Structure 1
Amino acid sequence: MRATDATDATDATDAAATVQRLAVLLEAGIAPPRAWRLLAESGDAVAVEVAADPTRGAGEVLAARGGAWCDVATAWRVAEAVGAPLAASLRGFAEALREAQATRDDIAVALADPAATARLIAWLPLVAIGLSLMLGFDVVAVVTQPVGIALVAAGLTLMLVARHWTARLVARAQPDGRLAGVQADVVAIALSGGVSIERALAVVGAAGGGPLETDTAAVLDLSARAGAPAADLLRASAAEARRVARADGRLHAARLGARLLVPMGLCTLPAFLMLGVGPVLLSVLAGSASLIT
């Protein structure tokens, strides 16, 4: 896993824990400023930042942290703007963050065996060269010849291609940095504050929720035609979007292990033959030719 992926994973895990605890405190009837202070007193690093800078507001502090906190910041700003209850939505956000982390864990598991095999194969050429030198084969002389240089260059190129190919496959399998269904959720939060749909969309846009998405617009249109509560439909839509995202993420993770075998078979193994076996074989052939002559 890349360093940035590890950072994102840690950020999502910490965010889920903090948001979950915050939701419990809010459901207990504790006011948001005091809830942040209580979390800060318990040692929560994010809560310490929020409590230390009350003039900026929790939304601004959370948004500045980036990553998973941007979605939480959007929901917080919307709730503050319309005076909506936030505890239930925070619980949903915490669960969504955990699901995203579970998907990253699935990908890490799928990557473990192929990555370990690739690392082992990457060391085998050096082992093969070392053994050949111990057995008396003049590998150094071979790799300084045109054919040997071509083998080494081709082998190193294939190793680099395999590394880049593997990194791209892993990156494509990673879940999106933003949570699925966030806009539907924050619009539902705005509507739960008793404002109109037009006002809710304006507040969400101003809070960083982005332009109106097609799925959100479709749910609002369905609500208007059916006369059903828009907030409930939006929450259901957000939950379904997260379920689909979770299923897609796990499917990508399951396929990743098989896909990683392709660069290993097409690049890593031929590179091993070129870097480890090829020079030894050329050395043996050169020794046999000298004996014949």
Structure 2
Amino acid sequence: MVAERLAVLLSAGVPAPAAWAHVGDMRTVDPSDDDVVRGAAISAAAAGEPVAAAITAARATVPGSAAQWSVLATAWAVAASSGAPLAASLRELGAALRDEAQLRREVGSALAGPLASARLVLALPLIAMAFGVLLGFDTFAVLFGSPLGLACVVVGGALLWAGRRWSAALAARATRSEADAGLELELLAIAMSGGASVDRARRLVRDALEANGTTTVGASAADDVIGLAARAGAPVAELLRAEAARLRRVARADGSARAAALGVRLMLPLGACVLPAFVLLGVAPLLISVVTGTLDGAV
């Protein structure tokens, strides 16, 4: 991960421009990072320009770049503005990003089975139509050659479309990202570790979030932690980092729970839309074909 590699290099006394250049040389090791954004950061560091602004500008030209670049740009801007040690700040950020990546992997693994099952079930009506043709039934002639068949096509197609939309909405809700869990608290801890007051740290974090297009929540959690630190006389930065880690653990548990519930919730579009569509598009044409053939033979 870029943040962790930068932290190690900076801790070893490597200047920021050289550290970015070395990270650029290692891009083949981590092919998931966007080379355009990385190149912009390297160029800005070498020219002594703001790295965060360069990352944000480059991301605007590459919509598909990883969202973690915005987080890195925001943390870099906060550390540079507050005077916080970049190496320590990036090390903490790297741990936060690693937790977020682990959350995405765990949720993706848990969702793989339900999503594959949903795709298979949604294809059943079309598979049934193909089997009807293979078995010698004139499925398509029945569906498109009679008013009753056309009614089956219209209603079954509408149900199948609704089932796909419903399943996609459930999957999107289950896979929604919580990459910003605890981010504002981490940024406040970075700003305050550089000696900034609470008010200045809040201002720096707010400005950095707005400048780098990062949205996050957690103001109430920050207020609670800052109030606790004031009452107890404890280090604010450490309490903020502990609360951020707790929020990431909660986000991971919530993501796993959503993934586990998806398998059950996908039964709703299956029963309400896909199975009726299967009957209308797969079973009904066979029955109509058999009945029609029987009546024709009787006549």
- What is the TM-score normalised by the length of structure 1? 0.84
Identity fraction in percent:
44
d(CA) in 2 for partners of 1:73, 1:175: 22
The DSSP-based 3-state class of the residue aligned with 1:208 is helix
1:131 CA drift (Å)? 4.3
Task: Work out whether 1:228 is the aligned partner of 2:220.
Answer: no
1:62 aligns with 2:63: no
Matched, 1:36 2:27: no
Q: What residue number does 2:298 align with?
A: 292
1:201 has 2:202 as partner:
yes
Cα deviation, 1:269-290, whole Å, max 9, x if unaligned, reads: 2212211111111111111122
Counterparts of 2:233 and 2:251, CA distance in 1: 28
Measured against aligned partners, the alpha-carbon deviations of 1:138-177 in whole angstroms (never above 9, x if no partner) come to 3344222111111111111111111111111111112435
Cα distance change of structure 1 residues 115 and 163 upon mapping to structure 2, 3 Å threshold: same
Counterpart in the other structure of 1:100: 100
1:130 to 1:235, Cα distance in 2 relative to 1, 3 A: closer
On the 8 A contact 1:107/1:254 being kept in 2, the answer is: no
- Please provide the CA RMSD for this pair: 2.4
1:85 equivalent in structure 2: 85
Query: Which is further off, 113-122 or 64-73?
Result: 113-122
| TM-score using structure 2 length | 0.83
**Which residue does the alignment assign to 1:7?**
none
Contact preservation (8 Å) 2:118, 2:266: no
| Letter in structure 1 aligned against 2:166 | W
Which one-letter code corresponds to 1:226 in the other structure?
A
The alpha-carbon distance between structure 1 residues 275 and 103, as it changes in their structure 2 partners (threshold 3 A), is: farther
Aligned ranges for residues 7-156 of structure 1 at < 5 Å? 17-43=1-27, 45=35, 46-53=37-44, 54-64=47-57, 65=59, 67-143=67-143, 144-156=145-157
Give the partner amino acid of 1:31: P
Structure 1 position 124, deviation (Å)? 4.3
Question: Larger deviation: 18-27 or 86-95?
Answer: 86-95
State the 1:180 CA deviation.
0.8
Q: Find the aligned partners of 2:72 and 2:224 in 1 and give their Cα distance.
A: 24
Code of the aligned partner of 1:48? G
In structure 1, the gaps of 5 or more residues are 1-16
Cα offset for 1:228? 1.3
1:77–1:155 CA distance, 2 compared to 1 (3 A): same
Gaps of 5+ in 2: 29-34, 60-64
Corresponding position of 1:11: none
Deviation of residue 24 (structure 1)? 1.5
Aligned-pair distance for 1:134? 4.9
The answer as to 2:191 corresponding to 1:190 is: yes
Give CA-to-partner distance per residue, 1:232-282, whole Å, 9 cap, x none.
Answer: 111111111111111111111122222223222322222122111111111
Shift of 1:215: 0.9
